[in-house]
């Protein structure tokens, strides 16, 4: 049994690294305004996931964020839940991407940032890729990101996403992805 578990673990790690390299290649290709747009999309995806977690009664995303901010190791019990959440996020990304709503499209484009970030919590081999990705996002044009978030919150007056975006827009790079 140990051999099969190790083989599956190795295959999963290779897939996670491959996905991280693809996301990082896209992020590297973006200019400052596009990075600002992506940063806004990541904030919207974060707000969406915060609301989704509350509505589903699942604290996993909030727990993962706490681990990202505190640089704490993730216990194995939490690691499994984070892996399941990553798969759920991929499903939600596909749904949002299939929508004709520009807001949903933007949320879908921000989801890979958080999917890679979650994977970096559970797979140390993804951590360097996530750190590079967040360093590049820091180079994004802040006024572009701010303008996009302002327009989204103005469009969503009274929607729960508005409050979540407002609360999370200044979060910044999670501490675990800031080089020490």
pLDDT at 9: 57
pLDDT of residue 7: 44
Instruction: Name, in order, each residue with C-beta under 8 angstroms of 37's C-beta and a sequence gap of 6 or more.
Output: 140, 144, 145, 148
- For 39, the token pair is 């940063």
Residue-wise pLDDT tens for the chain (180 aa)?
454 444 445 777 888 899 999 999 999 999 999 999 999 999 999 999 999 999 999 999 999 999 999 988 898 889 999 999 999 999 999 999 999 999 999 999 999 999 999 999 999 999 999 999 999 999 999 999 999 999 999 998 888 999 999 999 988 899 999 987
Q: How many residues does the chain have?
A: 180
Q: Is the pTM of this model over 0.85?
A: yes
**CB-based burial label for 103 (10 Å; 0-12, 13-18, 19+):** middle
């Amino acid at each position: 049994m140990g051999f099969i578990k190790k083989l599956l673990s190795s295959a999963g790690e290779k897939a996670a690294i491959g996905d991280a390299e693809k996301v990082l290649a896209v992020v590297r290709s973006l200019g400052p305004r596009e990075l600002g747009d992506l940063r806004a999309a990541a904030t919207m995806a974060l707000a969406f996931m915060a609301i989704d977690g509350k509505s589903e009664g699942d604290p996993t995303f909030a727990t993962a964020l706490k681990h990202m901010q505190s640089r704490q190791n993730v216990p194995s019990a939490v690691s499994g839940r984070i892996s399941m959440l990553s798969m759920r996020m991929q499903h939600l990304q596909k749904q949002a991407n299939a929508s004709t709503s520009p807001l949903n499209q933007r949320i879908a484009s921000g989801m890979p940032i958080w999917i890679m970030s979650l994977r970096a919590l559970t797979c140390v081999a993804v951590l360097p890729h996530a750190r590079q990705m967040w360093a590049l996002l820091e180079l994004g044009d802040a006024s572009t990101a701010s303008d996009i978030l302002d327009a989204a919150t103005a469009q969503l007056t009274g929607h729960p996403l508005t409050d979540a975006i407002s609360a999370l827009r200044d979060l910044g790079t999670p501490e675990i992805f800031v080089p020490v």
